Amino acid sequence: MSTKYVYLFADGKAEGNTTMKDLLGGKGANLAEMTNAGLPVPPGFTITTEACNSYYDEGEQFPAGMMDEVLAALAKVEAATGKQFGGGDNPMLVSVRSGAKFSMPGMMDTVLNLGLNDETRDAIAKISGNERFAWDAHRRFIQLFGKIVLNIESEKFEHIFEGYKHELGVKEDTAVGADTLAKVVADYKEVVKKETGNDFPTDAKEQLQLAIKAVFASWNGRRAKDYRRINKIDDKLGTAVNVQTMVFGNLGEDSGTGVAFTRDVATGERVIYGEYLQNAQGEDVVAGIRTPKKIAQLHEEMPEMYRQFAELAQKLETHYKDVQDLEFTIEKGKLYMLQTRNAKRTGAAAVRIAVEMVEEGVIDKKTAISRVEPAQLDQLLHPMIDPKAEIKVIGTGLPASPGAATGKVVFDPDEAEEMAKTGEKVILLRIETSPEDFHGMVAAQAILTARGGMTSHAAVVARGMGKCCVAGLGELKVDYKNQTAELNGNTIKKGDSITLNGSTGEVILGEVPLINPEVSGNFKTLMEYVNEYRKLGVRANADTPHDSEVARGFGAEGIGLCRTEHMFFEGDRIDSVRQMILSSTEYKSLEAQLANAKDADKAALEAKIARPSELYHGALAALLDLQREDFVGIFKAMNGFPVTIRTLDPPLHEFVPHDDETLQALATKLNMSFEEAKGRVDQLHEFNPMLGHRGCRLGIIYPEITKMQARAIFEAAVKVQKEGITVKPEIMIPLVGNVAELKLQADDVRAVAAEVFAKEGVTVDYLVGTMIEVPRAALTANRIAEVAEFFSFGTNDLTQMTMGLSRDDSGKFLPAYVEKKIYADDPFQVLDQEGVGQLVDIGIQKGRSTKADLKIGICGEHGGEPESVMFCHRVGMNYVSCSPYRVPIALLAAAQAAIADEGGAAIAKTTV
Tell me the residue type at 785: A
pLDDT of residue 778: 98
Q: pTM (2 decimals)?
A: 0.79
Q: Is pLDDT at 381 greater than 80 in this prediction?
A: no
pLDDT-based confidence at 596, cuts 50/70/90?
confident
As beta bridge partners, residue 259 has: 275, 327
Mean pLDDT, rounded, for 176-193: 96
Lowest-pLDDT choice from 100-109, 146-155, 601-610: 601-610
Tell me the residue type at 518: E
Q: Are 268 and 345 in contact (CB under 8 A)?
A: yes
pLDDT of residue 24: 97
User: What residues have CB less than 8 Å from 800, skipping those under 6 apart?
Assistant: 690, 806, 807
Q: Are 897 and 533 in contact (CB under 8 A)?
A: no
Q: Which one has a higher pLDDT value, 602 or 474?
A: 474
Mean pLDDT, rounded, for 484-505: 94
pLDDT of residue 435: 66
pLDDT of residue 148: 95
Q: Which one has a higher pLDDT value, 388 or 905?
A: 388
Tell me the residue type at 324: Q
Q: How many helices (H) and strands (E) does the chain have?
A: 35, 34
Rounded to whole angstroms, the Cα distance separating 435 from 456 reads 11
Q: Are 696 and 742 in contact (CB under 8 A)?
A: yes
Model pLDDT for residues 625-646, shown as the tens digit of each residue: 989 999 999 999 999 999 999 9
Cα three-residue angle 687-693-698, rounded to 5 degrees? 165
pLDDT of residue 912: 29
**Identity of the highest mean pLDDT range in 650-659, 673-682, 687-696, 888-897:** 888-897
Q: Is pLDDT at 908 greater than 50 in this prediction?
A: no
Whether the CA torsion 584, 589, 590, 591 is positive or negative: it is positive
Lowest-pLDDT choice from 38-52, 186-200, 440-454, 825-839: 440-454
Mean pLDDT, rounded, for 307-331: 96
Q: Is pLDDT at 911 greater than 50 in this prediction?
A: no
Mean pLDDT, rounded, for 764-793: 98
Model pLDDT for residues 863-906, shown as the tens digit of each residue: 989 999 999 999 999 999 998 878 999 999 999 999 998 865 44
Rounded to whole angstroms, the Cα distance separating 157 from 122 reads 22
In percent, the amount of the chain with pLDDT more than 70 equals 96
Q: Is pLDDT at 907 greater than 60 in this prediction?
A: no
Q: Are 241 and 96 in contact (CB under 8 A)?
A: yes
Q: Is pLDDT at 174 greater than 90 in this prediction?
A: no
Cα three-residue angle 32-35-38, rounded to 5 degrees? 155
Q: Is pLDDT at 670 greater than 90 in this prediction?
A: no
Mean pLDDT, rounded, for 586-601: 78
pLDDT-based confidence at 565, cuts 50/70/90?
confident
Model pLDDT for residues 105-144, shown as the tens digit of each residue: 889 999 999 999 999 999 999 999 999 999 999 999 999 9
Q: Which of 456, 126, 110, 84 is nearest to 291 (CA)?
A: 456
Rounded to whole angstroms, the Cα distance separating 583 from 652 reads 12
Model pLDDT for residues 400-437, shown as the tens digit of each residue: 887 899 999 999 999 999 999 999 999 999 998 876 78
Q: Is pLDDT at 278 greater than 60 in this prediction?
A: yes
pLDDT-based confidence at 295, cuts 50/70/90?
very high
DSSP-based three-state secondary structure for 10: strand
Distance of CA 371 to the CA centre of its chain: 16
Tell me the chain's radius of gyration from C-alpha atoms: 33
pLDDT-based confidence at 590, cuts 50/70/90?
confident
Q: Are 343 and 261 in contact (CB under 8 A)?
A: yes
Rounded to whole angstroms, the Cα distance separating 252 from 169 reads 22
pLDDT-based confidence at 854, cuts 50/70/90?
very high
As beta bridge partners, residue 275 has: 259, 294
Rounded to whole angstroms, the Cα distance separating 262 from 242 reads 23
Q: Is pLDDT at 470 greater than 90 in this prediction?
A: yes
DSSP string, 456-523: SHHHHHHHHHT-EEEE--TT-EEETTTTEEEETTEEEETT-EEEEETTTTEEEES---EE-----HHH
pLDDT-based confidence at 659, cuts 50/70/90?
confident
Model pLDDT for residues 700-717, shown as the tens digit of each residue: 999 999 999 999 999 999
DSSP code at position 199: P
Q: Provide the pairing of β-strand 91-92 with 484-487.
A: unpaired
pLDDT of residue 464: 59
pLDDT of residue 850: 98
pLDDT of residue 536: 97
First to last CA, the chain: 30
pLDDT-based confidence at 517, cuts 50/70/90?
low
Rounded to whole angstroms, the Cα distance separating 184 from 488 reads 34
Known catalytic residue at 566 = no
pLDDT-based confidence at 519, cuts 50/70/90?
low
pLDDT of residue 462: 80
Known catalytic residue at 457 = yes
Distance of CA 495 to the CA centre of its chain: 25
- Mean of the per-residue pLDDT values of the chain: 90
Mean pLDDT, rounded, for 207-213: 98
Q: Which of 706, 689, 623 is nearest to 654 (CA)?
A: 689
Residue of 382, 439, 457, 653 marked active site: 457
Model pLDDT for residues 714-738, shown as the tens digit of each residue: 999 999 999 999 999 999 999 999 9
Residue of 859, 862, 873, 882 marked active site: 859
Q: Which one has a higher pLDDT value, 283 or 792?
A: 792
